[in-house]
Structure 1
Amino acid sequence: MSQYVDLVATSRWVLVIVLAAAMFDVVLPFIPSETIIVAVSVGVAEAGHPMLIWVILAAASGVLVGDGLAYLVGRRSGPAVTRRLRRSGRGAAIHDWVLSVMRRHGAPLIVLGRYVPGVRSATAFTAGAVGYPARRYAGFTLIGASVWATQSALLGYAGGEVFASRPLLGFAVAWLGAGVVTLGAMLVQRHATAVWGALARRATGKRSRAETRR
């Protein structure tokens, strides 16, 4: 087991895998990119090599490239992308929510949306389709990618450090920690949706009353 951990933690190909997983899960959500980052970070902690920063950089770079490409696709093929996102009932619901929030609160959605299953893809494509400012999108994506990659890698590294003699247990604990973060993000999403919806209805009501007085 120790030889395997050392191989995983020191191979440069592992960084390529991390980058590719983080890049492609914007279009292939079934790729367990976060699980891969956690597992590699556990291996880094077990092997004792100072490679964690490279894991974080590879993961963040993958997110930037993947989300950037998705944004460009959305910008060039807006209607076709929208139809694809809305093929299922759940996809249509996510797209409607992302679209409504994007118009009012794009920054927190871009930064935090990657924690909620399905929202990262919808956010990236929809941002391009609705013409969200490219520089602003790139800046918020950089922040979100950095936070996500750092959090995932540190969870794995902490699990590997705490359970130094049992890397599988360290991975399991770190993976559960990542699940807790995702669950928290989903709860925040639901609460934010309710709050933003109430604010939007209130603003609409005020405009309607103002127009009626005129």
Structure 2
Amino acid sequence: MTEFADLIFTIARSPWALVALVGLLVVDGFFPLVPGETMVVTLAALGASGHGPEPVIVLLVAIAATMVGDGIAFLIGRSVHPTRWVWMRGTRAQRGLEWASARIEHNPGVILVGAKFLPFVRVAVTMTAGASALPVKRYLVYSFFAATLYTGYHVAVAILAGGLFAANPFLALAASIAFGVLSGAVIGGVHRLVTLRRARTSR
């Protein structure tokens, strides 16, 4: 177990860990089936317990990589409408597109920031923003705030867990991931309830 832990810590402290973080977050920006946020939590939690990169480095790298990934989704929406992508034709993706299309023109800032915490919805919203007439400069401002809040939240959770369980970094990591999954499920559940209620009242 000690050798395994040492291996994990060595990998986490390696510059390649940050390279992997960038890659995952960039892909996560337009294809939300990769563990981008899990990697953020992992490196930040290990860093907070003294076995990985400094959490502030993780935060800065994650913000930049997240903006790049979201920017790719925005450009995809600019050139190819989201409904033309096969994987965007599923039920969850379609709900996200409908929700985004109805709101992005009226309040793009709030929608882009809020949707960042909902995996499929955030991609649909970003692509819809690209397909709309939203100016690139305005989008970049919203993207920065969304990426900062999104990554900052996960890094903060990891730092808290890393501080509480400094003597057991793997427990800190497990607690961080579990809290992230739970909070994501709660946010997703609230979003679905609100969407269903609005759908019923609009009939």
Same fold at TM > 0.5: yes
- Structure 1 position 129, deviation (Å): 0.9
Look up the equivalent residue of 2:49 and give its one-letter code: E
Structure-1 residue corresponding to 2:84: 83
Deviation above 3 Å: which 4+ runs of structure 1? 190-199
CA contact (8 A) 1:8 1:40 kept: no
- Give the one of 11, 15, 39 matched to 2:14: 11
Q: Identity across aligned pairs (percent)?
A: 26
TM-score by length of 2: 0.85
Counting matched residue pairs gives 198
Report matched runs for 1:185-204 at 5 Å. 185-190=187-192, 193=195
Structure-2 residue corresponding to 1:169: 171
Structure-2 residue corresponding to 1:47: 50
Look up the equivalent residue of 1:17 and give its one-letter code: A
- Structure 1 position 49, deviation (Å): 6.5
**Cα 1:192–1:33, aligned 2, differ >3 Å: closer, same or farther?**
same
Structure 1 distance, partners of 2:198, 2:132, is 19
* Structure 2 residue ranges without an equivalent (≥5): none
Look up the equivalent residue of 2:100 and give its one-letter code: V
Once structures 1 and 2 are overlaid, which stretch shifts more, 8-17 or 124-133?
A: 8-17
Structure-2 residue corresponding to 1:211: none
Once structures 1 and 2 are overlaid, which stretch shifts more, 189-198 or 117-126?
A: 189-198
Once structures 1 and 2 are overlaid, which stretch shifts more, 89-98 or 29-38?
A: 89-98
* Structure 1 residue ranges without an equivalent (≥5): 202-214
**Cα 1:192–1:131, aligned 2, differ >3 Å: closer, same or farther?**
farther
- Give the one of 29, 32, 35 matched to 2:35: 32
CA contact (8 A) 2:165 2:171 kept: yes
**Cα 1:162–1:128, aligned 2, differ >3 Å: closer, same or farther?**
same
- Structure 1 position 169, deviation (Å): 1.5
Once structures 1 and 2 are overlaid, which stretch shifts more, 168-177 or 49-58?
A: 49-58
Structure 2 distance, partners of 1:169, 1:127, is 39
CA contact (8 A) 2:29 2:123 kept: yes
Deviations along 1:104-123, one digit per CA (max 9) or x if unpaired, are 22212111212112012111
Structure-1 residue corresponding to 2:152: 150
Look up the equivalent residue of 1:155 and give its one-letter code: V
